[in-house]
Amino acid sequence: MVDHRKRRRRAEAKEEQLSLVLHTLADRSRREIIELLREAGELKVGDIAEAFSMSLNGVSKHLKVLEKAGLVERRVDGREHWIRVSWASLQQPYEWLHFYQHFWSERLDSLVDYVKDKGKNHEQ
Amino acid sequence: MSSNFELTVSRTIPASRKEVFEAWLSPDALQRFMCPAEGMSVPKVEVDACEGGSFLIVMLVGDKEMPHRGEYKTINRYEQLAFTWVSEHSMPGSLVTIDFKEKSPSETEVILHHVGFPSEESRTNHEGGWGRILETLGSQLG
């Protein structure tokens, strides 16, 4: 029973983390920052600001939100702040995708079975 | 990036478009085909089949109830059905759109599209709104 509750708490924490990640990525600018970092690897905060013609302040705000969701990591080297994607946290949206791909695929198979059964009953 | 949160599944169903469409709005049919696996059951289905109406599908795994809720956005007989899809603790903004295409009088192609962010969520895409949501989520996580 304790195990069951622990498992449930873990599952709930995971779902909440997924919500946070997806909410964070619901913003187009933040998705574009991730996309840029995906292509570039690691970038300085100033480079990201320049790429989007954004103020340093504006980019910093987005980066803080992305960091809070665990989507990017920051490395401080002297005066430079380097940002890169944290791939582990992006795994969750992919899991969501795979879960629902499987879920709906199975539901449609069941729908086929359902209409076939219904057809048979009508014939009788 | 946005395409990462969309998926499409399609199937040809051996029944008329009307029959297949109505199955999605029938509590009796939903109880049958929304049951995810053997050993699971769907003890409760409530459907208010009108645009703006809501539905509730409770799936039971062991002793754990998993409610799935949503609101019908489009009910266009017998062409398109769209509803929001929210399961407990999962992402709040997901939209399922189903297109029904007649392949023959007794065959219907069903194309189901599930998107992670419905457009109305993207429209509230300003710092304030998301800041508040993140704060709420943050306090839940803490």
Q: What is the CATH number of the domain that holds A69?
A: 1.10.10.10
Q: Which of A9-23, A108-122, B78-92 has the highest mean pLDDT?
A: A108-122
Q: Which residue matches tokens 């192609």?
A: B109
Mutate to test the interface with B, among A23, A60, A61 (most CBs of B within 10 A): A23
Domain extent at residue A37: 2-123
Q: Is A108 on the interface with B (CB under 8 A)?
A: yes
Number of domains within chain A = 1
**Residues A29 and B123 sit within 8 Å (Cβ to Cβ):** no
Q: What is the CATH number of the domain that holds B81?
A: 3.30.530.20
Domain extent at residue B39: 2-141
Smallest CA–CA distance, residue A76 to chain B, in Å, is: 25
**ipTM of this complex prediction, to 2 decimal places:** 0.75
Residue-averaged pLDDT of chain B? 78
The token duo for A66 is 């992305």
DSSP string, chain B: -GGGGEEEEEEEESS-HHHHHHHTT-HHHHHHHT--STTEEEEEEEE--STT-EEEEEEEETTEEEEEEEEEEEEETTTEEEEE-EETTS-S--EEEEEEEEEETTEEEEEEEEESS-HHHHHT-SHHHHHHHHHHHHHHH-
Indicate if the pLDDT at residue B135 is higher than 70.
Answer: no
pLDDT recorded at residue A101:
85
In B, what residues contact A, Cβ < 8 A? Answer: 1-2, 4-5, 7, 9-11, 13-15, 19-20, 23, 29, 32-37, 64, 88-93, 110, 112, 114, 116-117, 121-122, 125, 127, 130-131, 133-134, 137-138, 140-141
d(CA B84, CA B34): 16
Indicate if the pLDDT at residue B134 is higher than 70.
Answer: no
More confident residue, B125 or A54: A54
* Coil, strand or helix at A54: coil
Indicate if the pLDDT at residue A13 is higher than 80.
Answer: no
Residue-averaged pLDDT of chain A? 85
Q: What is the mean pLDDT of residues A27-54?
A: 88
pLDDT recorded at residue A2:
60
**Residues A37 and A71 sit within 8 Å (Cβ to Cβ):** no
Number of domains within chain B = 1
